A and B are shown apart, each in its own frame.
Chain A
């Protein structure tokens, strides 16, 4: 039997990747502008605030690192799924208007009096962004669904047009905001993982993202076949409509969660699935979990660089993902494409 993905190989790859993720989480949590000692952390919080600074720094960092993992996992996984159902390797989680919808929601929130990035741990902005994302995506889906038979093309077109329109509105709105709000709006639009979240928010978002990824993983074999086209997948016994709706709505849902927590972090959703495909092959049964895991790893590393590279000054993580993601991906592309062409 020639090589294909077996259950055993898939499970081994997933376990190895999870171990790598744990190691990266550990390293990134102890890395920072102020070094902390793990033995101090293990002593616990102490009786009063300020008793154990190391513990406090640790708890801030670990929540930021975990949020990075969830956001990265959601973006990369949703990128892989959208590339499959749109049959378009250039698709990313933002292609169907999620980004501009969330952006518009967030900018509207920031224009409201009394709401800033740090107000209530960013909860109002997150809520606005989430609502904006879900409304836009439903709008794009309905336009795509009701116009014409070739749904993929009309979906993509609807997404592009709505993205362009909302981006113009966002620009217009940033022109009228006050200067101190402008900076935080720009920060949000460039993608930024916030320092502090309510732990209940972190926990519930993490749960939803993981559940979403598991559901997408369960339809991954259908996604393999859907990339061959609608006729082919029906001929192989796939309920194409149902698979598409499940894939689309859960990808949109986890992306909306990610965007509402961290703004528009680019590159992760496009590049991570491609990198995994180049290394491990195109089988979605493995691509989806591995994209999620390495998406988390990639974003946490990028965010660690974003908060440490320039001392106290923090960069938006979206800048780092583009700066290190781009060249890294080009290297992968050059290496593995050559391997494939030699195999021919």
Chain B
């Protein structure tokens, strides 16, 4: 069953066309990675998928209903978004931030009920953030903060989870930690997960499908095996890459000018 149907989607910022005639169907429970060079429109696509931007042409259907016909609160019960972590202006604690996820389900003062509290606690535990639940967000490290924002997205309890470069400033251990966490949510809660990422290798390891955006508004959509072809990656990113394979998982290493060629 398709949870997201993108048809003929186009978007431009005035003169500059970003996306053109994008048609993709995303199955419920899929882990999709969106990759591509800078400026190819990854984040724009993500913003279109969460309703922040309106399509210039074409349409996006969420659960067989046009995204534009959703009320903002209704959409927040379908889609949760995780952007790059940041420190809020005011000193909110971890629990306060995660509790905000329940807003789309509650009245104007949004005090959580017993069942809301349960979901909040579960999300804290699932992301291993319960240990600093009472601490201020500003006092955590970047990786810890990113986990808090993922906890908030989980507490939002939506069938779809969108992430914009969730691991860009994290060390290897935390990168893997975040992707394991997402995979876990995909299996246990049958969530559809869409992550924009620069990390082709993590995408190859974790994603069921890959959307590769070209700089010229072309794109390629399919399984990692189909999309992650060496020549294609070289061409799209404009850099020579070396390909490797370990237990059926592909990885790429970019090749710089100063690397020695041992023939």
Contact = CB atoms under 8 A, between A and B. Distances in A.
Are A and B a genuine interacting pair, yes or no?
Answer: yes
Interface of A: 1-7, 84, 87-89, 218-222, 224-225, 227-229, 231-232, 234-239, 277, 281-283, 285, 340, 343-344
Contacts of B103: 221, 225, 236-238
Interface in B73-87: 73-77, 79-81, 83, 86
Contacts of B136: 340, 343-344
A4 B95 contact: yes
Given A4-B99, A7-B109, A221-B110, A237 B88 contact: no
Contact of A235 (B80, B97, B109, B133): B80
B77 A237 contact: yes
| Chain A binding surface, main DSSP class | loop
A227 B90 CA distance: 7
Contacts, number: 100
A225 B100 contact: yes
A222 B72 CA distance: 13
Closest 8 interchain pairs by CB? Answer: A237-B76, A237-B104, A2-B133, A237-B73, A282-B90, A344-B139, A235-B81, A221-B110
A236 B108 contact: no
B110 A231 contact: no
B117 A219 contact: no
B52 to A, nearest CB: 6
B101 A236 contact: yes
Given A236-B100, A237-B72, A6 B91 contact: no
B91 A232 contact: no
B50 A235 contact: yes
B111 A7 contact: yes
Contacts of B94: 2
Given A238-B72, A282-B92, 12 more contacts: A1-B120, A2-B134, A6-B111, A7-B111, A218-B109, A221-B110, A225-B100, A231-B81, A234-B51, A239-B73, A282-B90, A285-B111
